Structure 1
Amino acid sequence: MQGSNGTGRHGAWGVVAVVLLVGVHLVRGGAEELRAEGPPQPVAVAAPDGSGAVDGSRAVDGGPAPASVPDPLPASPPVRVRVPAVRVDAPVTEVGLDTDGWIEAPPPEDDHLAGWFTGAVTPGERGTAVVVGHVDTPRGRAVFYDLGALGKGHRVEVVRRDGRTAVFSVYGAEVVPKEGFPAARVYGDSGLPELRLITCGGTFTEETGYEGNVVVSARLVEVR
């Protein structure tokens, strides 16, 4: 399935292709010495609605939206993402769709670079923003290698071009299969400013690469 239809920034865009492409681009050529151990996988925190997890990740309800949330921000592209709990402090580039209608991954030659998908909202706007990153490269660990270690309540800080920092709180982390990816659930618009961080995860084999994607879900809780 290609993601060229319904990809308007504020629409319910088709996203199955987004995650499939992330998987294809992030699994190939990972450093061999990392494969035996593998990146951390979500366990204690899982799917927000109790479904869709693989590799034994047990789903936990993310709970109701916080009673008080900041007002949504106007559009402004992200320039940096920080996740203190897993020591991520990385610049963000814009990624879109290639000529085949698939989302582009960040350039593999820069393993310390995250990518904001321009077909979605900017972080802090009403809707679901999406930031992707490599889990590994032939040189070793990449920007989102430790993403699966995030737990409920961990913070994600996104510095925007307008000088504001949108701060999100993690409420769900899961491994979802690339086959039959639950796009509507993962990317659905809750009516609040939300963020998804995505990298590869699940079981790795030489034949197929990683079988799934780590998806971290977070809600806006603060604006600085």
Structure 2
Amino acid sequence: MAAPQSSDSNPSASGTGSFTFGRTLLWPAAAAGLGLLMIFNSFGTAEDNKPLTAPSVAAPAPAAAPPAPSAAVSPSPTGLFMPRSNPTKLQIPSIAVNAPFTPLTIGASGHLNAPPPHDTNLVGWYKGGVTPGERGAAIVAGHVDTTTGPAVFLQLQFVKQGATVDITRADGSVATFKVDSVEKFSKASFPNDLVYADTPNAQLRLITCGGTYDRKAKDYKDNVVVFAHLDSTKHP
């Protein structure tokens, strides 16, 4: 599953939505193309000429990437993690999210395909990356809205530090993540290394669109990214 190489020195090109290939050697090559997702395959209202439910957010982030969240870097490869098992359900109680997963793949263009645009209660996970709970940074992406109405991650920007994110997995286990921070980045200067870098412990990134809606481009200018770490597990 080859992906085009980025023109810059970062593991992925500017944009968002790429995935950390946590335990494999595919990460340096594949991330270059995956990083273009939010630019070319927006998790927003890409088909309409106006947003249906534009998020209420502050001005776009400055070009320089903000300091790394506390969970973005770990001093050692130790910590809680789980064996591989595909995610089946995402729950974020604080914003009333309860949604099934769909696997995401790389399309013919070399970019990661977005979840179906007309299913407003569905989140996507790149099936070639680590599963949520495995050692590494699992990436979950969803629409903020679509042409049919508000979508699953409409309220993602309002998640608070310390909130929990529960992911039920195919083996019956539940991975519970605790939110470390919620950041908003300009798509024009997206900090790929911060968001997509491999991690020595089990982490999670939740990504959607946000910020100002560009009517001409039919896309949001920013991305909202939730950084979280694995806090506890439940097994059947």
Q: 1:174 to 1:42 in 2, by over 3 A?
A: farther
Partner of 2:142: 133
For 1:191-202, what aligned pairs fall within 5 Å after superposition?
A: 191-202=200-211
Shift of 1:41: 3.8
TM-score (norm 2): 0.78
- Matching residue's letter, 2:163: H
Q: Does the CA-based 8 Å contact 2:42-2:209 persist in structure 1?
A: no
TM value normalised by structure 1: 0.81
5+ unaligned residues in a row in structure 2: which ranges? 6-10, 12-19
Decide whether aligned partners of structure 1 residues 60 and 117 sit closer, same or farther in structure 2, where only a CA change above 3 A counts: same
State the shift of 1:124 in Å: 0.2
Contact 1:42 1:148 in 2 (8 A): no
Count of aligned pairs between the two proteins: 211
Residue matched to 1:25: 42
Deviation at 1:84?
A: 0.6
In the TM superposition, residue 217 of structure 1 has moved relative to its aligned partner by: 0.7
Match status 1:214 vs 2:231: no
Structure 1 residue 34 and structure 2 residue 41: aligned? Answer: no
1:50 corresponds to: none
What is the identity percentage for the equivalent residue pairs of Structure 1 and Structure 2?
A: 35
- Counterpart for residue 80 of structure 1: 89
Q: Where does the alignment leave 5 or more consecutive residues of structure 1 unmatched?
A: 44-52
| Partner AA of 2:101 in structure 1 | V
Conserved? CA contact 2:58–2:211, under 8 Å? no
Counterpart in 2 of 1:120? 129
- Residues 4 and 166 of structure 1: CA distance in aligned 2, closer, same or farther (over 3 Å): farther
Contact 1:166-1:220 at 8 Å conserved across structures: yes
1:128-170 C-alpha deviation (Å, 9 max, x unpaired): 0011101101111001111111111011100000100000001
Residues in 2 aligned to 1:116 and 1:200: alpha-carbon distance in whole angstroms: 16
CA RMSD for the aligned pairs? Answer: 3.1
1:93 shift after superposition: 0.7
Question: Of 104, 115, 121, which residue of structure 2 is paired with 1:106?
Answer: 115
1:176 is aligned with what amino acid?
A: F
In structure 2, C-alpha distance between the alignment counterparts of 1:172 and 1:16, rounded to whole Å: 25
Secondary structure at the aligned position of 1:109 is classed as coil
